[in-house]
Amino acid sequence: MIEIKDLHKSYKMGSNSLHVLKGINFSVKEGELVAIMGSSGSGKSTLLNILGMLDEANSGEYTLDGVPIKDLNETKAAKYRNKFLGFVFQSFNLINYKNAMENVALPLYYQKMGRKERQEKALKYLGQVGLTEWATHLPNELSGGQKQRVAIARAMAAEPKVLLADEPTGALDSTTSFEVMDLIQKINDQGNTILVVTHEDDIAHMCKRIVHLKDGVIVKDEKVKQVRASEYV
């Protein structure tokens, strides 16, 4: 599904440049649940942003579902993001003046799907995260866990190839974190490919594979025995 070869990324900070990613090689198959771990500054968020086409690498190859991702202009990148990727952010990033259902329907709107169809689909995905009753509530009327579940529903609504989660539990307490991870595991069980960036060990171990990043290189890439989050809930 994801194929990365010799990926480099450096940022210019004034006069000196910061080499963040120093040749990353890795691949993800369909249906995998991968955790990318590392301390802050290890380059894990940068990697995720490049995978999410929010940022571009300086060199290296990136292939997503057989499509080479390079020389993107903003219009093309937006189209690919909409078609291939779902995003879950640490700070939820819901749109404040739109209710839960409208938030979920947003990616579908950008696909120019009809209004009615959009709403039906949004309600279906809200149902899958167990928030049907909260469909007409604005984000500020929801708890943190609920917000993240809306965000996950939104990410899934466009039926992306890959779900990218950047510290999805970073702003949540542990009980809620496990609820969210439980949801992510269930989505993975349905065959969806998911990448989770985290620095928490217990969250990482709820995935099926852990990639350790340190100072811009992969130091360890291991398959782990998945801990089901439902055991904790």
Of the candidates 12, 15, 97, 116, which one interacts with another protein according to CB under 8 A? 97
Least distance between another protein and beta carbon 139 (Å): 12
Of the candidates 8, 79, 161, 205, which one interacts with another protein according to CB under 8 A? 79
Least distance between another protein and beta carbon 61 (Å): 20
Contact (CB, 8 A) for 213 and 42:
yes
With binding defined as CB under 8 A, does residue 62 bind another protein?
no
Least distance between another protein and beta carbon 75 (Å): 6
Q: Which is nearer to another protein, 26 or 89 (CB)?
A: 89
With binding defined as CB under 8 A, does residue 70 bind another protein?
no
Of the candidates 70, 109, 127, 219, which one interacts with another protein according to CB under 8 A? 109
Label residues 5-18 b or e (16+ Cβ within 10 Å = b).
Answer: eebebbeeeeeeee
Binding to another protein (CB under 8 A): which residues in 153-182?
Answer: 154, 158
With binding defined as CB under 8 A, does residue 96 bind another protein?
yes
Least distance between another protein and beta carbon 28 (Å): 20
Contact window for another protein (CB under 8 A) among 50-58, 123-131, 209-217, 219-227: 50-58
Spatial CA neighbour of 168 closest among 159, 227, 153: 153
Q: Give the type of residue at 226.
A: Q
With binding defined as CB under 8 A, does residue 95 bind another protein?
yes
With binding defined as CB under 8 A, does residue 115 bind another protein?
yes
Size of the site for another protein (CB under 8 A): 28
Name the residues that contact another protein, by CB under 8 A.
Answer: 49, 52, 54-55, 74-75, 78-83, 85, 87, 89, 93-97, 106-107, 109-111, 115, 154, 158
